[in-house]
Amino acid sequence: MPSNKSVSDAPIVQFSNCRILRDHQLQREDLWVREGKILNPEKLFFDEKGSADVQLDCKDSIIAPGFIDVQINGGFGVDFSLATDDFKAGIDLVSQKILSHGVTSFCPTLVTSPPSVYHQVLPQINVRNGGAHGAGILGAHLEGPFISKEKKGAHPEHCLRTFEAGAFQDLLATYGSLDCVQIVTLAPEMRRSSEVIQELTKRGICVSLGHSVANLSQAEEAVQHGATFITHLFNAMLPFHHRDPGIVGLLTSDKIPAGRRVFYGMISDGIHTNPAALRIAHRAHPKGLVLVTDAIAGMGLAPGRHTLGQQVVEIDGLNTYIAGTKTLSGSVATMDTCVRHFQEATGCSVETALEAASLHPAQLLGIEHKKGTLNYDSDADFLMLNDSLYVQATYIAGEEVWRQDVSGM
């Protein structure tokens, strides 16, 4: 047999007997992987005269791109908004544990905090590739403190800030550094927010609109200055009104610059958004929907008292409240649960549900050339799932990093 080593000595793995999510459809074909990337089999056969070194029978599983969570506050007892001595160990623990939820990349999210917390925590968040150690880190999501007092949700009011003269310098002084920052959520109705949005966008940082009382024209202006995302649509913003639909109106606005797409996060846990509201948003703007968990430290833990940044929260089933109130404070749902709930609530196709947690967040962050798809030459971060969309195995860079233990079943 001709050698397949003309290009690389690395082994070639062929995943067969599977349905691959590619070009928005489940296609019955094999997946070929080498050196952490997805191979084009035609090039392998005809240019290299190559073949597989290892063949894996996927037993008719679905193979989909790994999930990308762009809003996760912590989990398993770890709170990303707490400056602890073992912060790095905490972020490592969460990145390891979320592999079982199908998450292969994420943005650790900090809720509104005092400047001292940002100054201590942000230098400890390093962008890194995923692997057996855990999901990859794409950069931090800073949700606040430049948000509306009226729509603060679970954010501590005493830490909220407004933009003063020299607004961007004020933001820099608050955060200390933007080196590892991927997303900033702010309220666009704040004075001087336009210049901040432009400065952040110039630096390649995604600006998200949220925790806000903005009307539609303020939201549209923010998008015209570079904002591309809406933080947990419907939650912590003015409710839709037919005469001024507010931020929600961006989903069907005709004032979006040509060639620009506005994305919006949704916490599809059955609690934060009524299934009917989820259906309305999805039908209005299906290509912009990004599933997020908004998970807090209590995800994966027993009900009871936990933290979210500076606040104490209580978990009661899937509900999480600021202690002593009925104010929702993040979620304890996992990403795979959100995908299944989204598919069930909207009746959308399996492909659509999977892309809302993979392709769309990758497009939002401008990394769809390497993440969020199974296109040739992209990173081999993918999942094996059954027809009910339960994760059976998680792969990063073509290596198995988690598998469902079926020994006891």
Cα→Cα distances 3→48, 245, 398, Å: 8, 62, 22
The letter for the amino acid at 384 is M
Strands 206-209 and 181-186: parallel
Query: Is residue 158 a known part of a binding site?
Result: no
Find the catalytic residue in 294, 336, 379, 381.
Answer: 294
Query: Is residue 328 a known part of a binding site?
Result: yes
> Among the residues of 249-374, which ranges form H helices?
275-284, 335-346, 350-356, 359-364
Q: Nearest Cα to 378, choosing from 401, 402, 395? A: 395
Residue 219 and residue 346: Cα distance in Å, rounded? 26
The yes-or-no answer on residue 387 being catalytic is: no
DSSP-based three-state secondary structure for 108: strand
Query: Is residue 236 a known part of a binding site?
Result: yes
Q: Nearest Cα to 221, choosing from 262, 280, 281, 183? A: 262
H/E/C letters for each residue in 29-43? CCEEEECCEECCHHH
Query: Is residue 235 a known part of a binding site?
Result: yes
Query: Is residue 211 a known part of a binding site?
Result: yes
Residue 265 and residue 292: Cα distance in Å, rounded? 6
Question: Which residues line the annotated binding site?
Answer: 143, 154, 211, 232, 235-236, 243, 272, 328-330
Binding residue numbers for substrate = 154, 235-236, 243, 272, 328-330
Positions marked catalytic: 294
